[in-house]
Amino acid sequence: MSIREQLIEGLNIDLANEYQAIITYITYGATVTGIYREEMKEFFMREVPDELRHAEFLANKIAALGGTPVTTPTAVPPAANLKEMLQNVLRAEEDTIARYKQRREQAEQLGDYGLVNDLEEIISDETKHKEAIEMILRGL
């Protein structure tokens, strides 16, 4: 498999996970309960536009590279309470950052430095999300 094919395959995995993130945040925002429900609902819903922007970027890049964007998200992990929701989201952010670092290396190998730069921005976004979640979890 060529580096381009590997990159397209990896970007499709990333896209499926961005779809999952959108659904996760909407689902968790709708179902969160407890004394901080309104604040946490707002927190989850604020993340949706970033994840949607990432998904749109990935779909466009996959198509530009000659691939076909996936249309199926990865499964949303169930959560019985706020702590589980946040732990699930934290794991997803950590996994996402690791995948995007790998994708950045593939983009460098392909010589697509525009993609390298775009991935750096997404890694920065995801790192900010991760840090916000870590801070909330420390207070629970």
**In sequence order, what are the residues at sequence separation of 6 or more whose Cβ sits closer than 8 angstroms to the Cβ of residue 5?**
none
**Got the DSSP string for 41-56?**
HHHHHHHHHHHHHHHH
Tell me the whole-structure pTM to 2 decimals: 0.95
Give the residue extent of every domain in the chain.
3-67+81-138
Reported as a single tens digit per residue, the pLDDT across 45-82 is 999 999 999 999 999 999 999 999 999 999 999 999 99
Which helix (H) or strand (E) segment is 67 a member of?
none
Pick among 1.20.200.10, 3.30.420.40, 1.20.1260.10, 3.30.360.10: CATH of 3-67+81-138: 1.20.1260.10
Query: How distant, in Å, are the alpha carbons of 6, 63, 113, 138 from that of 129?
Result: 27, 27, 24, 14
Reported as a single tens digit per residue, the pLDDT across 73-132 is 999 999 999 999 999 999 999 999 999 999 999 999 999 999 999 999 999 999 999 999
